Chains A and B, each alone.
Chain A
């Protein structure tokens, strides 16, 4: 496994195993004035070795390679044909790159917003068509998605809401006890869970479960040309794939929200009973007494809007998947992040709106 290179006048003798294993460790002999490279002693030659031999040829001058077997000559010829000029290294301009990145990011953000709005437009148009001819609706698909996005999410959503109720009760009681105002824990729990926490956290969980699932499912169909096949068969992906998913979310998210509200109140009641000795009966009476129906309504009004956001983001990102596995992963994770972010933005807008109208 050693290579010997000896210089003899204008001849260069190379002997030994000239291959991937030995070439990296070889020192390049001075090749000025070399006229012939003799390979009689080569025991093994691979692409790396052939490249090494060729790279010994001094610039301009004719160097002949002799002593190779026919197979080695063929290999050297093949490598010689395949040599290419090294790629030009791009000149680095940090400032310019930064400005360009900023520009691209801004542009992409704008296009993202436009894309979402046009997706919303297409969904509304589809909804109008469905209203005019309800038979277009894919009922089986709708029910299937209501099950996977809605019913299957019930355990995790209720458990989460119950624990949130417990946490709010525990934190609230620790503070309010100092003023002797323990009973207001009930109001704290009822208002925070009904108005905000119940529906917001439900939407976040559904965004994590369903926005990603929509993107992955539609994206995989896009990659395997199933979406093109639908179009070629005269079926509109908007009708077949997107509308049932978004509608399923709009129908099930309010129900999940109500369940989360109930579970949250139950969790709060349990903690209030254990921690402060407020009996469930007293808790219920206080909730009925001190909390108006608007608190519940404020929470539930938001649910369909959140559902629309989650569904739109998930489906649109699915349709954006290209031919490669990389974009599927990137867009699936982008779906979850975008959906959660937009849900929270929408929640903030709702808060301002309800404050302005005074409910």
Chain B
């Protein structure tokens, strides 16, 4: 955790028209850690995630992932870089015309030239790894529950054994048991696959259960980064309300 940061954001500025979302935002993520990003609605958590994975261009600033620039790079080198991370979108964002197994196979099919049998085997391993039952493989996303869809989206994100996974609200909309199971799963796979996890969430339980550090987005920048214990000691009113409000205390109290 002490070597070069795997993600480095410097002086990031984001504007939508007159509305300034980020103004000189800095953030670093260390290799192998699970970083949770929290913040009120509209503080640009998902926007930040989209900028780091190159879906949105910032107005100013520099983003480096795995030591290589994301902004202002050539399409070729960006394509190579993109293979090294996986993304899980909020609703899973599975392709609705394909089965679960085919969805997980897509990165393998597009980014490698594996023979089909091996592709299917590896996709099946990933589907089982995220805890989906055998019979889910042939199902279409519309036939799955919300939690299963998120798991399938997670399986697609880790299909290529990426070094980083980006998760956008992985537990939103899940029941507490399913959310806890997904938390455990993220932790387990981080250990097994050696992942770095960048996690946008509102779920205080997730933060307590698996996040090594938490970054708080407020006032158009990263207000503070640290363990939850460190953040609770901060005097800032929003941070205080977030971690020491009734829900924050409840989530902390159980452990």
Contacts and interface: CB of A to CB of B under 8 A. Distances in A.
Interface string B119-152: 0011011111100001001101110000000000
Given A78-B192, A82-B125, A23 B118 contact: yes
A85 B121 CA distance: 9
B189 interface: yes
A84 B134 contact: yes
Nearest to A73: B192
Contact of A78 (B118, B141, B188): B188
Contacts of B128: 81-84
Contacts of A46: 161, 193
A79 B161 contact: no
A74 interface: yes
B102 to A, nearest CB: 13
Given A82-B125, A83-B125, A323-B96, 9 more contacts: A19-B161, A20-B112, A24-B113, A47-B161, A71-B194, A82-B124, A82-B127, A86-B124, A324-B97
A325 B194 CA distance: 35
Nearest to B94: A324
B191 interface: yes
A230 to B, nearest CB: 21
Interface in B183-206: 188-189, 191-194
A48 interface: yes
Contacts of B127: 82
Interface residues of A, number: 27
A323 B191 contact: no
A24 B122 CA distance: 12
A326 interface: yes
Given A79-B125, A83-B125, A323 B142 contact: yes
Interface string A157-190: 0000000000000000000000000000000000
A52 to B, nearest CB: 9
B48 interface: no
Contact of A20 (B121, B124, B160): B160
Contact of B189 (A78, A86, A322, A325): A78
Looking at B96, B115, B141, the one whose CB has the most chain A CB atoms below 10 A away is B96
B125 A47 contact: yes
Contact of A48 (B97, B140, B161): B161
Contacts of A77: 192
B161 A20 contact: yes
B181 interface: no
Interface in A43-82: 46-48, 51, 71, 74-75, 77-79, 81-82
A87 interface: yes
Given A19-B161, A323-B142, A47 B122 contact: yes
A324 B96 contact: yes
B96 A47 contact: no
Contacts of B114: 20, 24
Interface residues of B, number: 29
Contacts, number: 75
A9 B129 CA distance: 34
Interface of B: 96-97, 112-115, 118, 121-122, 124-129, 134, 137-138, 140-142, 160-161, 188-189, 191-194
A73 to B, nearest CB: 9
B161 A87 contact: no
Interface in A314-358: 322-326
A77 B192 CA distance: 8
A3 to B, nearest CB: 15
A84 B124 contact: yes
9 nearest A-B residue pairs (beta carbon): A324-B96, A82-B128, A46-B161, A78-B192, A82-B129, A323-B142, A326-B97, A324-B142, A74-B192
Interface in A105-142: none
Nearest to A49: B161
Given A51-B122, A324-B97, A326-B97, A24 B192 contact: no
Contacts of B122: 20, 47-48, 51
12 contacts: A20-B114, A20-B122, A24-B118, A48-B118, A71-B194, A83-B125, A84-B128, A85-B134, A86-B121, A324-B97, A324-B140, A326-B96
A24 B128 CA distance: 21
Contacts of A19: 161
Contacts of A21: 112
A75 B142 contact: no
Contacts of B189: 78
A20 B124 CA distance: 15
Contacts of B97: 324-326
Contacts of A24: 112-115, 118
A48 B113 CA distance: 13
A81 B128 CA distance: 8
B77 to A, nearest CB: 18
A47 B189 CA distance: 11
Contacts of B194: 71, 75
A51 B121 contact: yes
B152 to A, nearest CB: 14
B81 to A, nearest CB: 16
Looking at B97, B115, B126, B127, the one whose CB has the most chain A CB atoms below 10 A away is B97
B129 A79 contact: yes
